[in-house]
Amino acid sequence: MITPAETLARAAQLRATFEAAGAMPVETPILQPAETLLDLYGEEIRARAYVTTDALRGEQMLRPDFTVPVVEMHMAHGAEPARYTYSGEVFRRQEHDPDRANEFVQVGYEVFDRANPAAADAEVFALFAQAVAPLNLRAATGDIGILMAAVRGLNTSDARKAALLRHIWRPRRFRALLERYSGRLDVSARRAKLLDGTLDCDGPLIGKRTQTEIDARVARLRADAAEPPLSDAEVDLLDALLNVRETVPYALAQLRDIAVDLPSIGAAVDGLAARADALSTRGVDVDALPFEASFGRTSMEYYDGFVFGFFSAQRADLPAVATGGRYDALTRRLGNGAEIPAVGGVLRPGLMLDLEAQA
Amino acid sequence: MSVKLGVPSKGRLMEKTFDWFGQLGITLTRTGSDREYAGAVDGISGVSLVLLSAGEVPRELAAGRLHFGVTGTDLVQEKLPLWEQQVEPLAELGFGHADLVLAVPKAWVDVDTLDDLDAVATAFRAAHGMRLRIATKYHRLVREHLRHAGVADYALVDSQGATEGTVANETAEMIADITSSGETLRANHLKVLEDAPILRSQATLWRSRVAEVSDADRTVAAALIAQLTD
């Protein structure tokens, strides 16, 4: 059994490694204003984070991760470029799996640097790969930015692209939208009546949503109905893209093929190639490194570029030992107009010790 | 020790539960005055009756203080995480039918499905600077349902009663509540989304998987199950 003291000692070691790599150690409060996290993640965060309250400050959450407070701190008064490291406990409410920890230690490393995104991605990945190297973990990498670029390049309305982008991280809804936009779903009789203006409504308007808002949505629905369906060819290309699952060199070759018909992903694929070079320079064996275009779509909501994770191959039941990625959009959301490219990741020293003890 | 059977202490739910047991040869009665929550069991020995609120039955089953209990599927699934590990459904009693549904103002002609709700919730947040509020007392069930459906831009507000009135009072934009006939919803100018309900519920007899049983209790429990589920 690993003791808390052992976990903290390992956390301190890891943090020292990150400091040696140039990061400044930072602390963040355990209690976070609930409103920020709710704004960012929506009501779902309540299923993942513990909420507490007092009469003065209202709802507070026990930090479910460090990324948000560290980004806020940097956006408020950070120098540029900046590298931070931290270690401490995070708290995760568990409603389904009694074997998952609801409180564990994380050690993180975050880079805020405009100069060279590929190099910053590689720097973070290589540091984490080194830290977990003795554990022989399975690495996974992906790039949400390629999928986002593909959606932006679709031959369809801005409203449809915006809806698809909003649901990049919710594959089920993303799929439902694609089916609707490609004309594969039937329009209900009621919806058809609404669109042609023959629907009667007998209810008085109650609540805060105004008639103007309803009329505007009906207008949007009509505009959308007039929009030609997404072509099968485009949907097939998106599917082909989502199915890319190869080592990095082969994934690059496949993506370049797809980019011939989907030129909008060209720059993002070039970015992947630049990252592969930067990883090579850092000593990562890129030829053996897996790349999955769909990786990071379900659980890593704020990542919008490079994503990575390290998993135990023997203990598939365990959560990731390390995860990370690029989150430029998050800095925009939290920065009140300011933004800065950012990439980082977290490690779980407790899991590392567990795996070492079993080895 | 005896085998403890928990039954709703009030109203039609209690009467219908008593009837259901009666038809299977087990007579449940309230004893003492009208206000005293005490009861008796005839037709099987070793079983004692506990009268309590239907809302407390799930917790008591999960704590092992009841061996058997009657309450709605909705209450068990809302109140007990991993409910399958804590209780086992033995029989559906055929009454207390109710669906947990999402309902929006009838005047929202552009909202028929969760697909629409997702689009409208995002537009509402952009227009009002706040998330679209859903009044409910079934927080867990609603949240999981909406997460599964990929709807994100909403906020749950707690409503323990008169939930249908919250929209007109502008404390919520829509609701998630239990309905049987839909009459209260209609009277409050609300309509149910066309997708399948979040949950179909009815009064159900449950067995606690965690309650301790002595050897004597085990025999009684087996006899009770045999009599009720044959």
Q: Which residue of B123, B150, B151 is in closest CB contact with A217?
A: B123
Distance CA A351, CA A217 (A): 49
What are the residues facing A248 on neighbouring strands? none
pLDDT of residue B1: 64
Q: Give me A75's structure tokens.
A: 């956006």
Q: Does residue A188 belong to any structural domain of this protein?
A: yes
Distance CA B228, CA A240 (A): 56
Chain A CB contacts of B77 below 8 Å: none
Residue A222 belongs to domain spanning: 160-230
pLDDT of residue A44: 84
Nearest residue to B40 (alpha-carbon basis) of B27, B22, B53, B24: B27
**Closest chain A C-alpha to B212 CA, distance in angstroms:** 21
Q: What ipTM does this complex have?
A: 0.83
Instruction: Output the average pLDDT for chain B.
Output: 92
What are the residues facing A110 on neighbouring strands? A84, A344
Contacts for B72 with CB less than 8 Å, ≥ 6 apart: B54, B96, B98, B201, B202, B203, B204
pLDDT over threshold 80, residue B60: yes
Distance CA A183, CA A195 (A): 16
User: Nearest 5 degrees, angle CA A145-CA A150-CA A154?
Assistant: 150
pLDDT of residue A186: 87
Tell me which residue has tokens 């109203």.
B11
Chain A CB contacts of B128 below 8 Å: 208
Q: Which residue of B has its CA nearest to A193?
A: B109
| pLDDT confidence bin for B36, thresholds 50/70/90 | low
- Beta-carbon separation of B106 and A201 below 8 A: yes
Evaluated on CA atoms B212, B214, B217, B219, the torsion sign reads positive
Q: Give me A252's structure tokens.
A: 């690059």
Q: Give me B190's structure tokens.
A: 């609300």
pLDDT of residue A128: 98
- Beta-carbon separation of A206 and B105 below 8 A: yes
Contacts for A123 with CB less than 8 Å, ≥ 6 apart: A21, A111, A282
Domain B3-96+202-229, CATH 3.40.190.10 — does that match? yes
- Beta-carbon separation of B172 and A207 below 8 A: yes
**For the domain bounded by B98-200, which CATH number is listed?**
3.40.190.10
How much is the average pLDDT of B143-152? 89
Phi, psi (deg, nearest 5) at residue A303: -75, 135
How much is the average pLDDT of B78-93? 90
- Residues of B in CB contact (< 8 Å) with A are 81-82, 105-110, 112, 115, 118-120, 122-124, 127-128, 131-132, 139-140, 143-144, 146-156, 167-168, 170, 172-174, 188-189, 191, 194
CA atoms within 13 A on the CB side of A238: 25
- Beta-carbon separation of A203 and B105 below 8 A: yes
pLDDT of residue B32: 73
Distance CA A47, CA A41 (A): 11
How much is the average pLDDT of B40-44? 90
- Beta-carbon separation of A217 and B119 below 8 A: yes
Q: Which residue of B109, B127, B132 is in closest CB contact with A201?
A: B109
The structural domains of chain B, with segments of one domain joined by +, span 3-96+202-229, 98-200
- Asked if residues B80 and B208 have their Cβ atoms less than 8 Å apart, the reply is no
Q: Give me A246's structure tokens.
A: 């190869």
- What pTM, to 2 d.p., does this model score? 0.84
Q: Which residue of B has its CA nearest to A171?
A: B150
Do B3-96+202-229 and B98-200 show the same overall fold? yes
pLDDT of residue A202: 75
Distance CA A221, CA A225 (A): 6
**Closest chain B C-alpha to A330 CA, distance in angstroms:** 17
Provide DSSP, B192-205.
E-SSPPSEEE-EEE
A265-280 pLDDT, tens digit per residue, is 999 999 999 999 999 9
pLDDT of residue A301: 65
How much is the average pLDDT of B203-207? 95
* Category of B209 on φ-ψ map: left (φ > 0), alpha (ψ -120 to 50) or beta: alpha
Chain A CB contacts of B108 below 8 Å: 209, 214
H/E stretch holding B125 reads helix B114-128
- Beta-carbon separation of B107 and A214 below 8 A: yes
pLDDT of residue A15: 97
Q: Which regions in chain A score pLDDT beneath 50? A: none
How much is the average pLDDT of B166-192? 94
| pLDDT confidence bin for B35, thresholds 50/70/90 | low
pLDDT over threshold 90, residue B159: yes
| pLDDT confidence bin for B34, thresholds 50/70/90 | low
- Beta-carbon separation of A213 and B127 below 8 A: yes
- Residues of A in CB contact (< 8 Å) with B are 38, 42-44, 46-47, 95-96, 98, 163, 166-167, 170, 172-174, 176, 180, 188, 190-191, 194, 199, 201-209, 211, 213-214, 216-218, 221
Chain A CB contacts of B143 below 8 Å: 43-44, 46-47
Distances, alpha carbon B61 to alpha carbons B1, B4, B46, in Å: 16, 10, 18
- Asked if residues B179 and B98 have their Cβ atoms less than 8 Å apart, the reply is yes
Distance CA A154, CA A149 (A): 9
Number of domains in chain A: 1
pLDDT of residue A333: 85
Higher pLDDT, B85 or A278: A278
Phi, psi (deg, nearest 5) at residue B174: -155, 180
Before A33, cis peptide (omega within 30)?
no
How many other CB atoms are found less than 10 A from the CB of residue A146? 26
Distance CA A15, CA A109 (A): 8
